[in-house]
A and B are shown apart, each in its own frame.
Chain A
């Protein structure tokens, strides 16, 4: 996408110049919608992760008595329970990362299993969600180095779709950098135009994702020691959520608002399952 020169931005510039003559005022003649803060849950589970993590915050209403400008503060006193239908386990709050964490060996995540998440708070709020971890995982992926200038690294990640099942994929990569002075390891995210896929109409075919990253990080160029490549086989909730996040348009009067997908009943956020194939490439 050609940055900032989209026709939409152009139009906004045009109209804003035109509207220098227009009038702006506060709206006082109609009743505004007020709402209560809602719980925002973030939880992504897979058999490959070493722990189950749940982030919990509250939304901030725009209008009404509960109006607030701040959101994103972690909710510390909730009761978070994960269950597979028969066995359940409470996920405790950890003050290390301000999120709810449970070691995977205490509650293993199994492929093909449906899980249920319930969150309740002392205030009386209660939300729940469920998701099913995809049955299969990819067995291999390929990485092609298309550009290896010192400042810009470009790679193409390739894999083959699993046949006879509906699949969604997310490609993800990080450059592993070393600060030659402090010898710290740094991870730098790589960007791509298309990193989210579905196999509708393309069952069994090859998929690829082009990613690029810059080694200029933290004020200087760093040395690269490798690439962390991930291709995730994700469920439909993950796909819908990520897609809505990618397509999100911030409020402007020239676009239809695009709400972010949620499968949290009574709240906002996401509870999704996936399988991960991870490769470290030198």
Chain B
């Protein structure tokens, strides 16, 4: 089946080059190419739409700001550059030779009326072949209210249809029924393994350091692979190339500071962004209430750095790094001892990338990538003269290389190909135990395993006709571990048909494989989750997703509407065997385990299905912007060894998911910086509750005693009988947030005060349920909720040279 698809795709590709015989010689072709960057900072702009009205066609810049357009010779050709948040630019010239055109776009919140219609055509949702994709302008991230004043990219994405959060206090996001480990989260090409701080409270990604964020939910182009459900591609800013900029902010929970500037003006720049919490200050009083010198607390920090050097148009070098850590610590003091310990986890990523331009049509990028994630537990117990210390950690480290090529022979084809290889080193368990209550029990053991994941891909964005486009390709992936090789072929295709210029129908199919898994024995998504590879015994996970949708732009009303349906089949999905836990430390080898790793015997594999429909009405810019999203979906699993082999709902199965987001900007003064004024924003979210397993009865399980003289104990009276797996629904989750921002231009920059209200009507969303006792002694179901109404105030300042700008008249330039 796969071979047939690949054959058809290659036939399609080759046929596009077939030349019909004609008598006239083909006109000579010329290429216009260059880099688009932001005026002032020289920050390269990703995905800038470029439209050519003469041929009613266009293209966009690649992730490194590079574009290339090859056309037959023309007396007059106009290139229109329109990018949200920037003033439009049009360039018109005669095309009779190859042209190198680098352009700076000027940031502007003001929208030029003359180009409204045309610019729309370039940026329309219906024009892109890429379906199932969410692009959020970074500016909009800053406008939406967030918990305790922290602007969070991942939280904003969770407001989009098809993307769900796990529930109150749950880390991770779930895309189209896929688990929290099925998202490929990459920051400047480096994968990030645990994307959240504080049990899902905040994400790792400091909005001040990001340039672009794109989430793909389906119809994945062949250049992405390795995870089943989504790709979150994030790129950091490079750093202002002309002058130093400082931006800082203080919030209730964390403070942040971003410094960027040139190292060598116009050629090289850097960016450093740091963030740290002082939430320990919040928790300390509560701990102090029950103390005798006992303390406890929590903190996290993030650190982003970027360095780049421009060797000229042909070569550029980028270095980026991210370092972050979360730590939870506590110490309890007794009269004759103390008990202390901590939990911590951290990510570190580093990438070195080199852009090379072979010629105006062929662009290459080479990346060297390092990514490290570690989770650590320490415990120290002092009792009299005895001391006991335990250290446990697990983690994953990646060493990878990637080579990607962009080739644009002419406007009909945009070909991408490349290869990538990553060596994963999994530290499944590293344990040291010192001292002890009984002698002879010092332990030091470490279980590691490795795997090499590689892929080669080829894809083409083919504009068959002006109204019929397709992106098709194939990815051939491979995984080697413990001497076993897995080879997988992944065909991908995505097609878009414009019935009218503002109405498009799209369809896609994507086959994805995942060679590493996240095993979560809590189901709550805590950082104790373990990353493990596919092994000799456990095959890689696989998904096949079909999606189809309709997108319409209502240009006059400045609205974009899309409806999309999807169906996803998953195989070899992993789940925990009932009652299993790998967190228990066994000092003896388990004799029942035939071979392999301890965790392999605690997991089981099965199948999954997820299907649903997503509706989105969106307004990307203007005085009043925002969106309404609704997702209706089902996600089910079937495992032979769980729930007696019967189908059950995923814990995060969310029948209804609604998000309403609104942003309203009131401008105080009519300055062109657009910075002064008030921004009002609100979000409301609703989601069906999680599916859980609840105890319904208790009983005394009989215990066999072959020794005593024919008498059995009546056993344990506290054994619970449960509903079928995940057959009980928790109460629905819903929440309203408000925020007001006051921006004012000051002498040295722009300051912003933000007042926000999280969970405005104080809804007690359940975090988990447990059975408790009422005053009369009967059983009652109780819930614990985490976040009541939380107001917050935050202050941020951006040091920037502000001057009144004249509204320039944009005209055609020769």
Q: Which residues of chain B come closer than 8 Å to A113, judged between CB atoms?
A: none
Interface string of B698-722 (1 = CB under 8 A from A): 1111111011101110111111111
B576 touches A256 (CB 8 A): yes
- CB-defined contacts of A26 to chain B, threshold 8 Å: 774, 780-783
A44: chain B residues at CB < 8 Å are 704, 706, 712
**Which chain B residues border A189 with CB–CB below 8 Å?**
707
* Contact call B779/A67, Cβ cutoff below 8 A: yes
**Interfacial chain A residues near B555, Cβ < 8 Å:** none
The verdict on A5 contacting B379 (CB below 8 Å), with A18-B298, A269-B702 known, is yes
- Chain B min CB distance to A200 (Å): 6
B588 at the interface (CB under 8 A from A): yes
Q: Does chain A have a CB within 8 A of B341? A: yes
Tell me, rounded to whole Å, the shortest Cβ–Cβ distance linking A205 to chain B. 10
Query: Which of B92-100, B521-529, B558-566, B667-675 is the contact stretch?
Result: B521-529
Asked if B583 is at the interface (CB within 8 A of a chain A CB), the reply is yes
B791 to chain A, nearest CB (A): 15
A33 touches which one: B586, B707, B723, B774 (CB < 8 A)? Answer: B723
A49 interface contact, C-beta 8 A:
yes
The answer, yes or no, to whether A108 is at the interface (CB within 8 Å) is: no
**Do B721 and A249 touch across chains, with their CB atoms under 8 A apart?**
no
A7 contacts B781, CB within 8 Å? Answer: no
Q: Which chain B residues border A50 with CB–CB below 8 Å?
A: 710
Q: Contacts A62-B697, A97-B711, A174-B707: A23 and B785 contacting too (C-beta < 8 A)?
A: yes
A10 at the interface (CB under 8 A from B): yes
Q: Which residue of A lies closest to B767 (CB)?
A: A22
Min CB distance, A22 to chain B, in Å?
A: 5
Instruction: Report the separation of the CA atoms of residues A272 and B768 in the bound assembly, to the nearest whole angstrom.
Output: 37
- Once A27-B731, A50-B710, A230-B706 are accepted as A-B contacts, the answer to whether A251 and B696 lie under 8 Å apart by CB is no
CB contacts (< 8 Å) of A226 on chain B: these are none
| Cα A13 to Cα B390 with chains together (Å) | 16
Report how far A187 CA is from B504 CA in the complex, Å: 80
Among the 9-residue stretches B31-39, B257-265, B591-599, B629-637, the one with 4 or more Cβ atoms under 8 Å from chain A is: B591-599
Residues of A within 8 A of B592 (CB): 194, 196-198
Chain A CB within 10 A, most for which of B341, B524, B721: B721
- Assess the B695–A256 pair: CB atoms within 8 A: no
**Residues of A1-49 whose CB lies within 8 A of B:** 1-2, 5-8, 10-11, 13-15, 17-27, 29-30, 32-35, 37-38, 40-44, 49
Q: What A residues does B576 contact at CB under 8 A?
A: 256
Complexed CA–CA distance, A57 and B343 (Å): 44
**Closest chain A CB from B520 CB (angstroms):** 10
Residues of B within 8 A of A29 (CB): 731
Q: Across the two chains, which residue of chain B brings its CB closest to A278?
A: B706
Is the Cβ of A55 less than 8 Å from the Cβ of B702?
Answer: yes
Asked whether B696 lies within 8 Å of A33 as measured between CB atoms, the reply is yes
Is A115 at the interface (CB under 8 A from chain B)? Answer: no
User: Which residues of the partner chain A approach B784 to less than 8 Å between Cβ atoms?
Assistant: 19, 22-24, 253
Closest CB in chain B relative to A268 CB, distance in Å: 6
Contact, CB under 8 Å: A40 / B700? yes
Interface residue count on the A side (C-beta < 8 Å): 97
B78 interface contact, C-beta 8 A? no
Report the nearest B residue to A198, measured CB to CB: B592
A18-B298, A40-B699 are known contacts. Are A1 and B586 too (CB-CB below 8 A)?
yes
Q: Assuming A51-B710, A197-B592, is B697 touching A59 (CB within 8 A)?
A: yes
Q: Is the CB of A207 within 8 A of B707?
A: no
Query: In whole angstroms, what is the CA distance A26 to B524 when docked?
Result: 21
**Are A72 and B714 neighbours in the complex by a CB distance under 8 Å?**
yes
A255: which of B379, B521, B698 is its contact (CB, 8 Å)?
Answer: B521
Contact B699 A27 (CB under 8 A): no
| Known contacts A30-B729, A33-B723, A172-B706; A63/B343 CB under 8 A | no
Are A27 and B782 within 8 A (Cβ)? yes
Pairwise interchain contact A256-B521, C-beta atoms closer than 8 A:
yes
Q: Is B12 an interface residue (CB 8 A)?
A: no
Partner of B286 from A20, A24, A210 at Cβ < 8 Å = A20
CB contact list, A61-104 vs B, under 8 A: 61-63, 67, 69, 71-72, 74, 97, 99, 101
Complex: chain B residue closest to A19, CB-CB? B784
A24–B783 alpha-carbon span in the complex (Å):
6
**Does residue B430 face the partner (Cβ distance < 8 Å to A)?**
no
Contacts A7-B377, A40-B700, A44-B704; A253 near B770 (Cβ below 8 A): yes
Complex contact B343–A11 (CB within 8 A) = yes
Q: Judge whether B700 and A63 touch: CB under 8 Å.
A: no
Chain A window 249-282, contacts with chain B (Cβ cutoff 8 Å), 1 for yes, 0 for no:
1110111111110000000111010001010000
Q: Determine if A162 is an interface residue (Cβ-Cβ < 8 Å).
A: no
A282 to chain B, nearest CB (A): 17
**Please, how many angstroms separate the alpha-carbon atoms of A256 and B583 in the complex?**
13
User: Is B58 located at the chain interface by the 8 A CB criterion?
Assistant: no
Interface string of B542-586 (1 = CB under 8 A from A): 000000000000000000000000000000000010111101111
Q: Is there a chain B Cβ closer than 8 Å to A228's Cβ?
A: yes
Q: Give the Cβ gap from A204 to chain B, nearest Cβ, in Å.
A: 14
* Cα–Cα, bound, A200→B594 (Å): 7
Rounded to whole angstroms, the CA-CA distance of A15 and B521 in the bound complex is 16
* A71 interface neighbour in B286, B695, B698, B770, Cβ under 8 Å: B698
Instruction: State whether the Cβ of A193 lies closer than 8 Å to any Cβ in chain B.
Output: yes
Can you give 6 A-B contacts (C-beta < 8 A)? A2-B433, A26-B783, A38-B721, A57-B714, A249-B581, A255-B581
Given contacts A23-B784, A33-B694, 19 further A-B contacts (CB under 8 A): A1-B586, A1-B587, A6-B583, A6-B584, A10-B377, A18-B298, A19-B784, A27-B731, A27-B783, A33-B723, A62-B697, A62-B698, A62-B779, A72-B717, A74-B714, A193-B588, A198-B592, A242-B704, A259-B722
Hey, which bits of chain B sit against chain A, CB under 8 A? Answer: 199, 283, 286-287, 296, 298, 328, 330, 341, 343, 377, 379, 381, 390, 392, 433, 521-524, 526, 528, 576, 578-581, 583-588, 590-592, 594-595, 689, 693-704, 706-708, 710-712, 714-723, 728-731, 764, 766-771, 774, 777-786, 788
